[in-house]
Each structure stands twice: as C-alpha cells, then as structure tokens.
C-alpha cells in the first residue's frame, strides 16, 4: 500500500466520479488533498465535504492563468498535482466550429498546461527532493483513429499526452516525475445514462483507475516517468 504521510496533493476536478475515487484513495494513504471544483452540483454528493484533510476550492476556472497561479501560490509545500478536470464533446468535423475546438483546448489542454506549470513552481518552492505530476489523457489522444466523430476532443487529449512526455524529460533531473493515464470509457453514472445498452462490465472502474493514478503520484513511484499508460479494461 502506497503511503503519503501527510504530503499535500492537488486534485483538479476532484469532486467528479474519477476525482472522488482518487481523493478517497489518497486519503486512505494519508495525503492531504487540495481539490478544485467547477460544477457546484457535484458537491452535494461529494463524500469528503466534511473531511478536515480535504480542502475544496470552488468556482476556479483552470484555463484562467492568473487564477491558477494564485491557487497554487497559496498552497502549503506541495508534493504532487493530479489533473483530472476537463471536458468532453463530440461532433462531426464539418459541424465543429472554431469556438467548439477552442473550448476543448481550453478545458483539456490549456488547463493541464497551466496546472502543470504552477505545480512545478510549487514543488520547487517546497525545497524537497522531487515531486509528482499525473495528467489524464484519453484513448483517442493516443490512438487518434478512435477519435472519429470527436476530433476536437482527440486533439486536445493528444496534446496532453505530448506535453506529459516533454515535461517528463525536461524535469527528470529534478526528480519531478510526470506521467499520464489514457483511459477508454469510464464506468460512471453519466456514461451509463448516455449509453444504457453498452457493455458496462467492460468499462474502466474509477476506483481501479484511481489506484494507478495514486501510485504514479506517490513517493513509492521511484522510477516511472514519461509514461502515458493505456487503461482500456475490456473495451
């Protein structure tokens, strides 16, 4: 079992289905979580609302450079930052506007870049040896042909995968390991409602993906960097 021993960890999008599973696993491992929330409705069923070891910041636009910088600058000494927040949209390429394309880049790519950049600064400021960053790409981002019908989303997640590998190489000498996971379809209530006849038992369980994310973010991950790990389950 991985251990964080009071280490401070950011989880963006930490009140969603996957984020909640990651926060739960981090708390079991002894981490103090700093969670961002943008969808207020998620707070009504967030299990860690009253947990003294979980600090929620609501309404933070992660594509706002100044806001992200202020958030990270106000944190205690940081060990890791996990970037789950993002958005999904699909439409045929001929029906995808420039605004649609830009929206996916802002939600998925720009937010990941800004949080990663500020996390690097915060980890360095902590004055300790190394730290961890974990991003969330997606299967269409690393297997582009599976992104048919969702070109903007695939492009935005492909950029996340590329940034992850580039940053991992740049930061290797500081022992700041940067990795990403690339899931297929997550088994969430929203996805089940959207695809009621799909083989749900073959989808990726958030709790299982959380185990991998938390390991990559942990001090126990002593060697893995620059990985974009496919997480496809049976799909």
CATH of span 8-231: 3.40.50.720
pLDDT, mean of residues 95-116: 98
pLDDT band at 3 (very low <50, low <70, confident <90, very high): confident
Give yes or no for residue 1 having a pLDDT over 90.
no
Percent of the chain with pLDDT over 90: 94
Full-model pTM:
0.97
pLDDT, mean of residues 24-48: 96
Higher pLDDT: 234 or 23? It is 23
User: What is the DSSP code string of the chain?
Assistant: ----TT-EEEEETTTSHHHHHHHHHHHHTT-EEEEEE--GGGGGG-TTTT-TTEEEEES--TT-HHHHHHHHHTSSSEEEEEE-------B-GGG--HHHHHHHIIIIIIHHHHHHHHHHHHHHHTTSS-EEEEEE--HHHHSGGGGTTBHHHHHHHHHHHHHHHHHHHHHGGGTEEEEEEEES-B--HHHHHH-TTS-GGGSBPHHHHHHHHHHHHSTT--S--S-EEEE-TT-
Give yes or no for residue 103 having a pLDDT over 70.
yes
Query: Over the chain, what is the mean pLDDT?
Result: 96
Q: Any idea where the domains of the chain sit in the sequence?
A: 8-231
């Amino acid at each position: 079992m991985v251990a964080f021993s009071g280490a401070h960890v950011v989880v963006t999008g930490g009140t969603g289905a996957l984020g909640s599973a990651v926060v739960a696993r981090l708390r079991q491992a002894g981490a103090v979580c700093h969670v961002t929330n943008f969808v207020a409705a998620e707070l009504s069923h967030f299990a860690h609302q009253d947990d003294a070891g979980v600090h929620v910041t609501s309404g933070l636009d992660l594509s706002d450079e100044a806001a992200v910088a202020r958030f990270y600058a106000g944190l205690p000494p940081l060990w890791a930052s996990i970037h789950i927040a993002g958005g999904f949209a699909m439409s045929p390429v001929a029906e995808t506007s420039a605004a649609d394309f830009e929206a996916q880049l802002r939600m998925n790519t720009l937010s990941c870049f800004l949080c990663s950049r500020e996390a690097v600064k915060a980890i360095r400021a902590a004055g300790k040896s190394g730290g961890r960053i974990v991003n969330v790409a997606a299967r269409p981002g690393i297997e582009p042909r599976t992104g048919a019908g969702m070109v903007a989303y695939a492009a935005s997640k492909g950029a996340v995968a590329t940034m992850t590998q580039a940053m991992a190489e740049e930061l290797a000498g500081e022992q700041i390991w940067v990795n990403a996971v690339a899931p297929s379809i997550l088994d969430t209530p929203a996805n089940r409602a959207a695809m009621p006849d799909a083989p749900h038992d073959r989808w990726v369980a958030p709790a299982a993906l959380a185990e991998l994310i938390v390991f990559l973010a942990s001090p126990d991950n002593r060697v893995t960097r620059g990985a974009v790990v496919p997480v496809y389950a049976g799909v």
